[in-house]
A and B are shown apart, each in its own frame.
Chain A
Amino acid sequence: MKRKRVKIVAASALLLTAMAFLVIAGIQSTSVRHFTPAGLVAAAQSLNNQRVQVDGLILAGSSEWDAANFELTFAVRDRAGSESVNVLYANRLKPDNFVDGGSVFVEGRYDASQNLIVATKLMTKCASKYEEADSTTTESVTERGKK
């Protein structure tokens, strides 16, 4: 009986460790740090070529939609300051609610030399009262975009 107990405890511990390992490895390889435009600009050099998330407002007059090349370019402005980051979002449909001054959330690889995020994910949020609006609305498919 004792030996069986030990075996069962060992098996459970093994399973737990394996799961914890999966999570830790998964987090380490995929976790993306979150910044404000000001925070990103301030730490630009150390973040070159890393995946980042930025949350801010669409800088008025900055957006350009090039339908022929399927490219959306714009800048994200800090909510509190004047710093901004450029964004290139290519090969995806232009999200709904994409309006000057609107709230936007961007995820992608950061190029410090051009202060540019090549985005794989772009979500817009409106100041809507519509609470039930599922977030996935304008979220294009992050990892699906392998062309």
Chain B
Amino acid sequence: MTAEIGQAAIALSVLSALWAIGFLCAGLRLRSAKAVQSGRNAVVATFFLTCISTGALIYGFVTDDFSLRYVVEVSSAAQPLLYKIAALWGAMSGSLLLWLWLLTLAGAIVVWQHRNYTTDNLADYALVPIVVVQLFFIILVTGIPDGIYNPLAKLPGGQVAADGQGMNPLLQTPLMAFHPPTLYIGWIGMTVPFGFAMGALASGRIGSDWLFRSRRWMLFSWIILTIGITLGGNWAYRELGWGGYWAWDPVENASFMPWLLGTAYLHSVMIQEKRSMLKLWNLLLITLAFQFTLLGTFITRSGVISSVHSFAQSNVGWYFLGFIFATTAAAIGMMVYRRKRLKSANHLESLLSRESAFVLNNWLLVGLTLIILWGTLWPILSEAINGEKASVPEAFFNRVVIIPGLLLLFLTGAGPIISWKKLTPNNFRRMFVSPISIGVIAGALTWGFLAWRGNPMPIYSVLCSFAAVFVLAAISSEFYRGAKLRAKRQEASFFAGLTHLVMRNKRRYGGYIIHIGIVILYIGIMGSKGYFLLESEGLKLGDSMQVGTFNLTMKDWFQERHANYARAGVVFDIEKNGRPVGEMKPARHYYEKTGQGETDTIESAIQHFGANDLYIALGDLPPNIDNGGIVNVQVYHNPLINVVWVGVAVMVLGGIVAIAEKHQHESLSKREE
């Protein structure tokens, strides 16, 4: 019965979305506050309706309703409750429903945020494109388009399955349970700024107002995406057994590209706010960022690059591509229509100025996005260009991103200290000379250290160390100078001055904290991507192997039963430089209820040694393990890998500080009224 109610709610939400679009447009056109209010109400109603349908599906999962096709495919009776709920996004139909639910939530929040705005209708303009996107998802979720089914649909012929097939065991970890929804939230958050951009174009109010209203949405998205992408990398590291966290897989790229564009956007809006430049660029950038949140689904679902991933193919990818083309065309049409109002009030005055640094940052971020897109789509492009199918490996991305990546790193320090309009000799002497000198010393030390250790080709590491230390010096001098000034002015301690400084300029100093996080992240990437060790060996019980300074002895094996899986593994004694440092127990899990999916997963053992990790992945245990049977193990030593997670944590912290700064638009719009 609940399923039918949920289905009815989906059907009704088609009507309420149409109602919202119709009444908002009519109300804005005819200047009828009543009609606009009715449209707003419909936006909220759509949210409640999708709450009902999403709730009905969750109810189906929790009560093990195996008459529902989707529940049968991704859940099973023995699945723990957390994963029964996470099964909501275990496959495509449910993921689309979750996406829709979050999108309608975002719409309702926009209505709520503007509940007291009666004369200012920018948000009402913005709601129209947001609801159009909702409608697209509602139509997909109804299951009417070919190649997709309604997540609340029953099994054919009123069957009831005895049990479900169970969620893919790889996804049954807490990290993976939260990874997809965080990505969705991040992507959906970008729909709102896009809505405001289109609303600004439609209403003709192309000042900075739409930026103020949507800036925090973008920052929120950025924080959540940062977390989501990292959860995915951390999950891959722990669960997949290949010792790494990033492989430039199309799926990873799909989540990373909107992040890069969002980062570019967060920077370029500052130029529009401060200097009234880049208006058109910001509109293009937010359109691009929004489209890339959809493009990921096209890339992973359409099957055009199926050779390198294993998502199920369906028409859904093509629906997304169609929607991307349609909305891009509409957005560009609007920009052409409003082209006269998009002229910049100012121009770049010098190639060496903060404006230029921002522009360069944007070019590099957008350039990186396009490079990654090119590599990701190369299987299609090569066929179109050379007539033969080809693809690029991880090495392509690693090689191509490194130089723009290092330039960007340098800019995270140079941007905040370079002067506006034009870099003066005075500015250079005061702000640049000492950070650069400290950076050069750090680079030289790194070079010496690596040469002494006998590592080959340390040039990128040297440049990375130089840039990293330069940025740290530049940013800390910003904090130091500001804090000292505040402390002096208020006759307080340095620390009080520092706190006051940050609290008074949360956005700016939050941003600087993010920059410090970026530096930390780079150092972690440099160490873990550049200097890891990998040893693969077949061992009998009692055998030892050597990895760097570690000695591992496989002394025992074990087997355990759990609720819906069995666990089997081995026990290693670990010695570092000849001294015992503990035990590690890599294992494999064997899941019983998995349909045709994987039946076993690698449960790597990971031990932290300061910032470094020792990582052991295990092959299958042979039946004759007690009688000299061989176990295959792969052992990684990943230097500085934990610095990666620390860097991201600092970035998120900085993001939280920055987002705490209140809207400026409240005071601004009051002034308007």
**Bound Cα distance from A139 to B534, whole angstroms:** 16
Shortest CB-to-CB span from A52 to chain B, Å, is 9
- Whether A79 sits at the interface, judged by CB under 8 Å, is no
Contacts of A35 in B (CB 8 A): 389
Contacts of A70 in B (CB 8 A): 536-538, 632
Query: Which residue of the partner chain, among A8, A34, A126, contacts B351 with CB atoms under 8 Å?
Result: A8
Q: Let me know if B626 is at the binding interface, CB within 8 A.
A: no
Asked if B22 is at the interface (CB within 8 A of a chain A CB), the reply is: no
Q: Which residues of chain A (1-40) have a CB below 8 Å from chain B?
A: 1, 4-5, 7-8, 11-12, 15-16, 19, 22-23, 26-27, 29-35
Contact of A91 with B363 in the complex, beta carbons under 8 Å: no
Give residues 386-403 of B contacting A (CB, 8 Å). 388-396, 398-400, 403
Complex: A143 Cα to B250 Cα, angstroms:
17
Nearest CB of chain B from residue A134's CB, rounded to whole Å: 6
A84 at the interface (CB under 8 A from B): no
Q: Check A55 for interface membership: any CB of B closer than 8 A.
A: yes
A105 within 8 A of B: yes
B251 within 8 A of A: yes
A61 is an interface residue with CB less than 8 A from chain B: no
* CB atoms of B165 and A129 under 8 A apart: yes
Assess whether A19 is in contact with B371, with CB atoms less than 8 Å apart. yes
* B595 CB contact (under 8 Å) in A11, A68, A130, A134: A130
Chain A residues with Cβ below 8 Å from B535 are 147
CB-CB contacts below 8 Å: B82-104 with A: 89-92, 95
Q: Say yes or no for A63: interface residue by CB 8 A criterion.
A: no
Query: How far, in angstroms, from A129 to B346 measured CA to CA in the complex?
Result: 55
Within 8 A of A (CB), among B179-199: 180
Bound CA–CA A135/B248 (angstroms):
11
In this complex, the member of A15, A126, A141 whose beta carbon has the largest number of chain B beta carbons within 10 angstroms is A141
- The answer to whether B391 and A67 have CB atoms under 8 Å apart is no
Q: Which residue of B lies closest to A11 (CB)?
A: B351
The reply on B479 being an interface residue by CB < 8 A is no
Asked whether B249 is an interface residue with its Cβ less than 8 Å from the other chain, the reply is yes
B46 CB, nearest partner CB in chain A, Å: 26
User: B312 to A67, Cβ gap below 8 A?
Assistant: no
Check: B73 CB closer than 8 A to any chain A CB: yes
In the complex, whether A80 has a CB less than 8 A from a CB of chain B is: no
Q: Which residues of A contact B538 (CB under 8 A)?
A: 67-70
**Counting CB contacts under 8 A, is A113 at the interface?**
no
Known: A32-B390, A133-B168, A135-B311. A92 touches B396 (CB 8 A): no
Report the separation of the CA atoms of residues A132 and B301 in the bound assembly, to the nearest whole angstrom: 10
- Please tell me if the beta carbons of B363 and A12 are within 8 angstroms of each other in the complex: yes
In the complex, which residues of chain A have a beta carbon less than 8 angstroms from the beta carbon of B307?
Answer: 34, 53, 55, 105
Residues 401-430 of B contacting A (Cβ, < 8 Å): 403-404
**Beta-carbon contact of B310 and A123 below 8 Å:** yes
Chain A residues near B618: list those with CB within 8 A.
93
Flag B245-259 by CB within 8 Å of A: 1 or 0 each: 001011110000000
Q: Inside 8 A of B619's CB, which chain A residues have their CB?
A: 67, 93-94
| Contact across chains for B310 and A125 when beta carbons are under 8 A apart | yes
Q: Name B349-390 residues within 8 Å CB distance of A.
A: 349-351, 360, 363, 367, 370-371, 374-375, 378-379, 382, 388-390
Contact-residue size bin, chain B (C-beta under 8 Å from the other chain): 35 or more
Render A131-147 as a binary contact track against B, CB cut-off 8 A, 1 for contact.
Answer: 11111110111111111
Known A23-B371, A94-B632; contact A53-B391, beta-carbon cutoff 8 A: yes
Q: Which B residue sits closest to A34, measured CB to CB?
A: B389
Task: Verify if B262 is at the interface (C-beta below 8 Å from A).
Answer: no
CB distance from A38 to the nearest CB of B (A): 14
A144 contacts B244, C-beta separation under 8 Å: yes
Check if A64 is an interface residue, CB within 8 A of chain B. Answer: no
In the complex, which residues 83-123 of chain A have their Cβ closer than 8 Å to any Cβ of chain B? 91-94, 96-97, 105, 107, 121, 123
The distance in angstroms between the C-alpha atoms of A43 and B236, with both chains bound, is 37
B571 within 8 A of A: no
In whole angstroms, what is the CA distance A11 to B363 when docked? 11
CB within 8 Å for A30 and B392 given contacts A133-B310, A133-B598, A135-B308: yes
Would you list which residues of chain A between 32 and 74 have a CB under 8 Å from chain B? 32-35, 53, 55, 67-70
- Residues of chain A within 8 A of B95, CB atoms compared: 132
Contacts of A19 in B (CB 8 A): 367, 370-371, 404
- Given the known interface contacts A34-B390, A134-B236, A141-B244, the answer about A97 and B91 at a Cβ–Cβ threshold of 8 Å is no
Q: Which residue of B lies closest to A8 (CB)?
A: B348
Q: Is A128 an interface residue (CB 8 A)?
A: yes
Contact A137 B240 (CB under 8 A): yes
* B240 pairs with A136, CB closer than 8 A: yes
CA distance A30 to B374 in the complex (A): 13
Residue of A nearest to B634 (CB): A93
Task: Tell me if A22 and B400 are in contact (CB < 8 A).
Answer: yes
Q: In the bound complex, how far is the Cα of B631 from the Cα of A69, in angstroms?
A: 11
Q: What are 7 pairs between A and B in contact, CB < 8 Å?
A: A67-B632, A107-B393, A123-B308, A131-B312, A132-B92, A133-B311, A146-B534
The list of the 8 closest CB pairs from A to B, nearest first, reads A135-B309, A34-B389, A67-B630, A131-B312, A26-B400, A30-B396, A91-B536, A130-B168
